Amino acid sequence: MMKYVLAAFAVLALAPAARGQQPMTMEKTKTGQASGERTMTVKAKVKAVDTTNRTITVTEKDGTTETFKVGDEVKRLNEIAAGDTIVVKYKQGLMLQVTPPEGAQPAAVTASGRGDPSKPPSAGAASAVQGTVTVTAVDPTSRIVVLQTPSGDMFKVKAGPKIQLDKVKAGDKLFGVYTETIAISVEKASASGPPKTN
């Protein structure tokens, strides 16, 4: 089975599938912050590749079909074909605290890189976003806290047992730093059929 790694930012259309999974569990740190981390894997089957317009159409596990643009950073697009499986691995991290560090400003940073051109294509991407989020709901039974970004996006986190949830209420502002690294590979189907998935 041949594997190729695509530039991660070229297929961020698959990101919502991963972000929609179980809420990230947040634990209290020694410095009084709350932090959490999770790793997820999302697989999607390639349905069609248009090398002229540089688009890939994929079918996700739930049957959803999506077409997205592939950036020029992805080389050897013609080696990807219908029947291949795109495997997206995410590592996400989140840190929350009541007061932003002195001088902290809302910011977003993205970094990416390609591997050695003499070897199979490889690339990776990492991003970090920091800014203020607003608590919109707190469920003390499930310990789920709903947060809203300034752009209106909503996401859920689960408070660990050491976090004093009774001190958190709707309307509270928290300073957060979100990080994400993404690795994307394509599993080429063999002559005997599509690759086996775990």
Kindly tell me if the per-residue pLDDT of 93 is higher than 50: yes
The total number of structural domains in the chain stands at 1
User: What tokens does 138 get?
Assistant: 């707190």
User: Is residue 194 in a domain?
Assistant: no
Residue 197 lies in a domain: no
Q: Report CA-CA distances (Å) from 186 to 1, 61, 62, 64, 102.
A: 10, 15, 19, 19, 43
Higher per-residue confidence, 2 vs 121: 121
Q: Which residue has the tokens 């089975």?
A: 1
In a domain, 54, yes or no: yes
Q: Which of 49-63, 99-113, 164-178 has the highest mean pLDDT?
A: 164-178
Residue, of 51 and 69, whose pLDDT is higher = 51
Lowest-pLDDT range of 36-50, 98-112, 162-176 = 98-112
Structural domain including 80 reads 3-187
Is 135 among the domain residues?
A: yes
Query: Is the residue at 193 inside a domain?
Result: no
Whether residue 107 lies inside any domain: the answer is yes
Assigned domain for 71 exists: yes
**Per-residue pLDDT, 7:** 37
Confidence of residue 108 (pLDDT cuts 50, 70, 90): low
pLDDT of residue 171: 94
- Is the pLDDT at 17 greater than 60, yes or no? no
Residue 196 belongs to some domain of the structure: no
Residue 174 pLDDT exceeds 80: yes
In this predicted structure, the answer to whether residue 125 has a pLDDT above a threshold of 70 is: no
